Amino acid sequence: MPKLAIYVPKKAKKAIDRWRKTINFSQVFMRALEREIRERERAAAAEDSQVAIAARHYRQQMSEHSDALVSLGHREGVRLVLECHLEPEPIQEMVSWADRPELGVEERSRVREWLGKSRDSLLKSASNLGYREKTHPGLESDLCRGVVLGVSDAWSRVCEEMNQL
């Protein structure tokens, strides 16, 4: 059988020396190596195309249930406008995004920035509805989309009122 040299930290070497007569370290190493290889092979067995198909499937299913998150974000967007928490520039920028089906990474980052501390309460409200970032990958995207729609809707109403003044 071929030999293989492995390097271990000093603490591990001391433990090996202490237990050398009662533990077969070659067997321990081989079991650990076989377990690691099995785990990696299982992970590699799922082809990228299968992962992509599963991702599209679950994204479609989850997007059908994202209305609650969009509504939650919408209420926050309306509140931000009606309570005058936003400057005109961010409002105008969000209004220009309202017709987009999806917000990009940069747009979501800007929305998070404009939300400020209210982002935490928005995430907490989503959590209270049972949505978590780990189980709902589109959570923040749906919330941001709702905020943009809420800002756009509220701004439209504010503009109508300003035109009548």
Q: Report whether 131 contacts 69 (CB < 8 A).
A: yes
Kindly report, residue by residue over 127-143, the tens digit of the pLDDT.
888 888 887 878 899 99
pTM of the predicted model, to two decimals? 0.64
Confidence of residue 61 (pLDDT cuts 50, 70, 90): low
Listed residue (99, 101, 86, 81) closest to 141, CA to CA:
101
Q: 3-13: string of b/e by CB count within 10 Å (b at 16+)? A: eeeeeeeeeee
**Segments making up each domain of the chain, as ranges:** 10-45, 65-164
pLDDT averaged over every residue in the chain: 87
